[in-house]
Amino acid sequence: MGSADIEEDLAPPLDVHQPKGWRAVEGISDIEALHRTDEWRNLYQLVQKDGLGLQNVPPAIRGDREMVAEACWENGLALQYAPEELRGDWEIVLCAVSRSGTALMWASPELRGARE
């Protein structure tokens, strides 16, 4: 019996029915589970350094409010890569516009006309 045989015997059995990734975590919300993944953390660090990196974030994660807010804080122009529903989020748009006035052009039409 070689060392490869021993390692194979010690390997845990694979459960092909177990869900993979962040959806495998039970008892917490999808957003909380998403924030626990290494992928989310790595992408979050990316947008902290370069907000425009939001354009390279997968769509499922790009819809995360915290991710978009951080990207817009780093670079207001990141608002252009935010999903439509977050372009209508007052706090995110305010954050983006405070960093770059030009970001207003990517805000929802309702917020572009707001005078507050």
Q: Does residue 42 belong to any structural domain of this protein?
A: yes
> Is pLDDT at 59 greater than 80 in this prediction?
yes
In whole angstroms, give the CA distance from residue 97 to residue 50: 16
Q: What is the pTM of this model?
A: 0.70
Return the pLDDT at 1.
52
Instruction: Count structural domains, the chain.
Output: 1
Locate tokens 């529903």: which residue?
A: 85
In the 8-state DSSP scheme, what is residue 18? S
Give residue-wise pLDDT tens across range 77-109.
999 999 999 999 999 999 999 999 999 999 999
Q: Does residue 12 belong to any structural domain of this protein?
A: no
Q: Find the domain containing 84 and state its range.
A: 24-112
Q: Does residue 101 belong to any structural domain of this protein?
A: yes
Q: Does residue 83 belong to any structural domain of this protein?
A: yes
Do 65 and 95 form a contact (C-beta atoms < 8 A)?
A: no
Give residue-wise pLDDT tens across range 3-57.
555 545 554 444 444 334 444 445 556 666 667 788 888 999 999 999 999 999 9
